[in-house]
Amino acid sequence: MQLMRLQRISCAVVAALIMLAGSVTLGSRAAADPATGCKQSPDPNAAITDPSWPLTQYDLPDKVWPFTTGNGITVAVLDSGVDRSYPELAKNLLPGMDMVTGQPQGNVDCTGHGTGVASVIAAQRGDGIGTYGIAPGTKILPVRTSETLQADQSGAPEPSGARVAGGINYAVSQGAQVILVSTPTLENSPELEASVAQAIGAGVVVVSAVGDQHPDKLRPNEATPPKFTPYPAAYDGVIGVGAVNADGTRLKTSQIGSYVDVVAPGADVIAGGIIGQNSYSDTSVASAFVAGTAALMLAEPGNRYAAMSGAEKSKAVADTIIGTASPMISKNTNAGYGAGIVDPYRTVTETMAQTSPQALPAHVGPPYNAAAVAAEARAQRSATNSAIIGWASVLVVALAGIGIFVWKRSRRTGWRSGRADTTELTRPEAAPEFVSGEALFAPPPEL
């Protein structure tokens, strides 16, 4: 316990230093809109009443929520911030942190993306709204790490590794049990790797999107180029999440690599936006389903993770999510799908084995017995001979019967071929009687 306190204190110190660095550079930035905190006020989204297809497939109210709704768990969302005016998140949203400006408020979203990701996790059911979060009992800790989204496949490391590292340290210091990096970085920095290792060592489950930089020109199932390697998804212990369409096929932009552990719904997903709702297609929204699933697992009453701590706890949650994923039905075992599609119901209802697979004992056959082998061979030869004799006897009896029949019939026919009697079967016709014409046409005699 003392070690965890020291870890949290060190995380808070690092986060404060990064905040200070951000505030120093703040003066060179363009002035923000005082009403929204954004350089340009985002356009509001309209309300969408249609249900989101992943919620229809998962059937959470009937299958999962009777066990857990994620109550008491805090999920940190490292993205573009979360809009505090979004109604369905109002009661679940904490103040958070803005790592871009160094200001203690992560509940401002200038793009709507982070709001959509957070709503997949914790949005409440609202009147006239077709979408809701998979773990509505959780709290969202918004950590703004990104100003823009990577949409041009330029390879720019936005957000920076240092900014993501600071966001992870801040989330740990605030007691988040799950950290979601829904906008990963392409920058592999030592401080980011260290922050991830520290979070996992503190028992925090770290989930990361694998990115949406997969080029169209690549052959099917070809790995995404190394320059697009996503971090922290590529680090050990982090659950890397790819995206699939409603038919289970990989979203074409979802990256392919060994860093993909599982996939989740990530195409045309209806989620929160600025005031209203929006439709998202990326690995970020897919990773939110996995982070929400982790929250459901940790909040389930009587779960086995409560007695765990440190890296053991993080690994147990990750292993369960990966181990209960529904495998993809495909001949190709490529790295675009990982273990399969995450299944919240299976994660909270199935029990994983507590031990590693055990090797089967070597098969030891009975000792060689020459006398027994010889006796078995004699028995087989005897059985074969008996069968031959039996069939031969049947054949002899059949041939004898046929011979007797032929002999008797030949005696009846006088040893001649053909019919045995000479009965006349036809009778010759009598010659026609000649009748003269006079007789034929003469009138009949008078009676």
276-290 pLDDT, tens digit each:
999 999 999 999 999
Q: How much is the pLDDT for 26?
A: 32
Tokens 């408020």 sit at which residue? 105
Q: How much is the pLDDT for 37?
A: 64
Binning pLDDT at 50, 70 and 90, where does residue 156 land? Answer: very low
426-441 pLDDT, tens digit each:
666 777 777 666 666 6
218-246 pLDDT, tens digit each:
887 899 999 999 999 999 999 999 999 99
Q: How far apart are the first and last CA of the chain?
A: 150
Question: CA angle 359-365-368, nearest 5°?
Answer: 155
Q: Among 143-147, 168-172, 406-410, where is mean pLDDT lowest?
A: 406-410
Q: How much is the pLDDT for 279?
A: 94
Higher pLDDT residue, 19 or 113?
Answer: 113
Q: How much is the pLDDT for 88?
A: 94
Q: How much is the pLDDT for 146?
A: 87
Catalytic residues: 79, 113, 284
Fill in the DSSP letter of residue 18: H
| Order of strands across the sheet that contains 97-98 | 97-98, 139-144, 74-79, 178-181, 205-209, 239-244, 262-265
Residue 7 has pLDDT above 60, yes or no: no
Binning pLDDT at 50, 70 and 90, where does residue 411 land? Answer: confident
Residue 139 has pLDDT above 60, yes or no: yes
Q: Among 13-27, 66-80, 145-159, 402-416, where is mean pLDDT lowest?
A: 13-27
Express the helix, strand and coil content of the chain in percent, nearest 5 each: 40, 10, 50
Q: Distance between CA atoms of 299 and 190, rounded to whole angstroms?
A: 32
User: Both tokens of residue 186?
Assistant: 């392409």
Most confident of 47-51, 120-124, 325-329, 333-337: 120-124
Residue 359 has pLDDT above 70, yes or no: yes
For the domain 2-349, what is the CATH superfamily, name and number? Peptidase S8/S53 domain (3.40.50.200)
Q: Are 121 and 54 in contact (CB under 8 A)?
A: no
Q: Among 124-138, 151-165, 315-329, where is mean pLDDT lowest?
A: 151-165
Residue 418 has pLDDT above 80, yes or no: no
Residue 27 has pLDDT above 50, yes or no: no
Q: What is the DSSP string of 344-413?
A: HHHHHHPPPPSSPPPPPPPP-PPPP-HHHHHHHHHHHHHHHHHHHHHHHHHHHHHHHHHHHHHHHHHHHT
Residue 23 has pLDDT above 70, yes or no: no
How many DSSP H helices and E strands does the chain contain? 11, 9
Q: What is the mean pLDDT of residues 263-286?
A: 95
Binning pLDDT at 50, 70 and 90, where does residue 210 land? Answer: very high
Could you tell me the residue ranges of all domains in the chain?
A: 2-349, 370-407
Q: Is the peptide bond before 232 cis (omega within 30 degrees of 0)?
A: yes
Alpha-helical runs (H) found in 152-282:
161-173, 190-201
Share of the chain above pLDDT 90, in %: 55
Nearest to 223 by CA among 337, 322, 325, 328: 337
Most confident of 46-60, 341-355, 404-418: 46-60
Question: CA angle 166-172-173, nearest 5°?
Answer: 90
Binning pLDDT at 50, 70 and 90, where does residue 24 land? Answer: very low
Q: How much is the pLDDT for 29?
A: 34
Residues in the chain, overall count: 447
Q: How much is the pLDDT for 14?
A: 41
Q: How much is the pLDDT for 141?
A: 98
Higher pLDDT residue, 179 or 377?
Answer: 179
pLDDT averaged over the chain? Answer: 84
Binning pLDDT at 50, 70 and 90, where does residue 164 land? Answer: very high
Q: How much is the pLDDT for 428?
A: 67
Fill in the DSSP letter of residue 241: E
Share of the chain above pLDDT 70, in %: 80
Higher pLDDT residue, 144 or 40?
Answer: 144
62-100 pLDDT, tens digit each:
999 999 999 999 999 999 999 999 999 999 999 999 998
Amino acid at 219: R
Q: How much is the pLDDT for 292?
A: 98
Q: How much is the pLDDT for 425?
A: 56
